[in-house]
Amino acid sequence: MDLNKSTKIAFIGCGAVGKTLAVALSRSGYSVIAASSRTYKSAEDLSGRIKNCISYESIPDAARQADLIFITTFDNAIEPVVNSIEWSTGQAVVHCSGASSLDVLKAAEIQGAAIGSFHPLQAFAGVEDALAALPGSTFGIEGEGKLKDYLTQLALDVGGKPIFLKSSDKPLYHASAVSLGGVLMGQIAVIAQIWEDRLGVEKNEALKTLIPMVRGVADALDANGIPEGIAGPYVRGDIDTVQKHLDAMKSVGIKEMQMYATTALAGIKFAAERGVCKDEDVKVMKKLLNTYISENPI
C-alpha cells in the first residue's frame, strides 16, 4: 500500500472530531474526497467545507471511493460501521477513539485492509475552536508498518505530536485524558455552581472569572514543569488553610468535599517535591485529608 498526500481519504462520522480532522488534513494538502454520517446533513456540512469532497447518504458508498477511511463516530458505532463495509486489500481503516482497541476493526483486517487508530488528545466543542487548538496537540497512534509511518507524518503535518500506543495501553491512556478533559470540566462546573449558590455569582459569570485561572495554571505548568509549577497551600504546608477548605467544602456537600479532598490527596506528593514545606507538615496534611475522606463517605 502506497500512502501519501494524494491518497484518497473518506470520513465516516461527521461530528466535531470528523469535521475538524477532515478540514485540518485538507488544509495540509491531503485529499479528502468523501464523507458520510448517521445524518446526511452532517456529511453535507463536512463536504461543504472542503473543495472536491462529496457527501454520501450510504456509508458503504463513501468507503468505496477511498483508499483510507477514517471512522470518527461514537465508540459504540465503530464496529457496526466496519462490519457494514466490504473491504479490500488496497484499503486502510483508522478509528479515532481514545478508548477502543484495534479489535473493533477486526472485520476489515480479515478482509485484507490495514488497520490503525489515530486519537487527537484535544477537546472538540466546535470545529473552528478545535482547529485553532489542534497545533501542538498529542495524537495517540496505533498501527504497523507503512500505515504507522503515514499516520505519524499526518500528525506532524497538522502540527501535532505523535505518541505510539499498544491496544493494552488504551484504557489507561483514555482514562487519563478524560481526567484532564471531561472530569476537569465537571470539577470546574461544580466550582462555578458553588459560586452561584454560595457567593451569588451566576455560574456562567463565575466561569468568566475562573477560566483565566485555569489558563494560568496550565501556563505555569507549561513554563515550569513538575514540581516547580505546582502552587498552593500544600506547597507551603499551610495546614490551617487546608482545614478551613475542608470545612467550607463540607458545608456545601459531602460530594464537593470529597472532590476537593481526594484530588488534593492524589496531588500532594508533587507539592511535597517542591521541598518548601516540612515533611512533618506533609504527613499532617495527608492524615487530615484521609480523615475527612474516611469519616464522610458519600
Give 113-136 as a DSSP string: -EEEEEEEES--SSHHHHHHH-TT
Q: How far apart are CA 181 and CA 187, in angstroms?
A: 10
**Domain finish residue from 146, 165, 184:** 165
Give yes or no for a contact between 134 and 157, defined as CB atoms under 8 angstroms apart: no
pLDDT in tens, the chain (298 residues): 789 999 999 999 999 999 999 999 999 999 999 999 999 999 999 999 999 999 999 999 999 999 999 999 999 999 999 999 999 999 999 999 999 999 999 999 999 999 999 999 998 878 999 999 999 999 999 999 999 999 999 999 999 999 999 989 999 999 999 998 899 999 999 999 999 999 999 999 999 999 999 999 999 999 999 999 999 999 999 999 999 999 999 999 999 999 999 999 999 999 999 989 999 999 999 999 999 999 998 8
Kindly tell me the sign of the dihedral angle through the C-alpha atoms of 134, 113, 52, 84: negative
Asked, for residue 243, whether it belongs to a domain, the answer is yes
Specify the DSSP class assigned to residue 168. Answer: G
Asked if residue 116 belongs to a domain, the reply is yes
The one-character DSSP state at 163 is: E
Cβ atoms < 10 Å from Cβ of 255? 12
- From 165, 192, 220, the end of a domain falls on 165
Q: Is the same domain home to 143 and 217?
A: no
Specify the CATH number for the domain of residue 60: 3.40.50.720
Same domain, 68 and 194: no
pTM: 0.88
Same domain, 17 and 161: yes
Which one of 118, 144, 165 terminates a domain?
165
If one counts the domains in the chain, the total is 2
Same domain, 71 and 105: yes
Q: How far apart are CA 180 and CA 174, in angstroms?
A: 10
Cβ neighbors of 48 (< 8 A, separation 6 or more) are none
> Are residues 188 and 133 both part of a single domain?
no
3-state secondary structure of 97: coil
Name the CA dihedral angle for 201, 207, 212, 216, rounded to a multiple of 10 degrees.
Answer: 110
The answer to whether residues 29 and 147 belong to one domain is yes
